[in-house]
């Protein structure tokens, strides 16, 4: 009985994984090709891929992220302070 339940769970998870990969096949191929080209991907590149775009060159930042990196780390929002 336990073995049957385990097989059922594994089967359901396998089917779900196939659905996710099939639904996102373009992103999967874009990710694989980008990894072949760059070997590693940063957060910006992964976000580009998941948005359906070609990933930018490594180390390229958009304006928002550049401004955030220049923010004084000693000054945080109330939720960030302990």
Tens-place pLDDT, residues 70-80: 555 555 555 65
Q: Is 49:30 a contact under the CB 8 Å cutoff? A: yes
Q: With both helix axes pointing from N to C terminus, report the angle between 25-38 and 2-23 in degrees, rounded to the nearest 10.
A: 80
Q: What is the pTM of this model?
A: 0.58
Mean pLDDT of the chain: 84
User: Token pair of 59, please?
Assistant: 């180390």
> What was the pLDDT predicted at 37?
94
How many H helices and E strands in the chain? Answer: 4, 0
User: Token pair of 73, please?
Assistant: 């780390």
Domain ranges of the chain: 24-62
Summarised one tens digit per residue, pLDDT across range 25-68 is 999 999 999 999 999 999 999 999 999 999 998 877 764 455 44
Give Cβ neighbours of residue 62 (< 8 Å, ≥ 6 apart): 44
């Amino acid at each position: 009985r336990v073995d049957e339940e385990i097989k059922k769970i594994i089967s359901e998870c396998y089917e779900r994984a196939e659905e996710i990969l099939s639904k996102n096949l373009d992103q999967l191929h874009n990710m694989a090709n980008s990894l072949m080209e760059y070997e590693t991907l940063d957060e910006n590149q992964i976000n580009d891929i998941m948005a359906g775009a070609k990933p930018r060159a490594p180390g390229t930042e958009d304006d928002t992220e550049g401004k955030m990196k220049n923010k004084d780390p000693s000054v945080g929002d109330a939720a960030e302070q302990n």
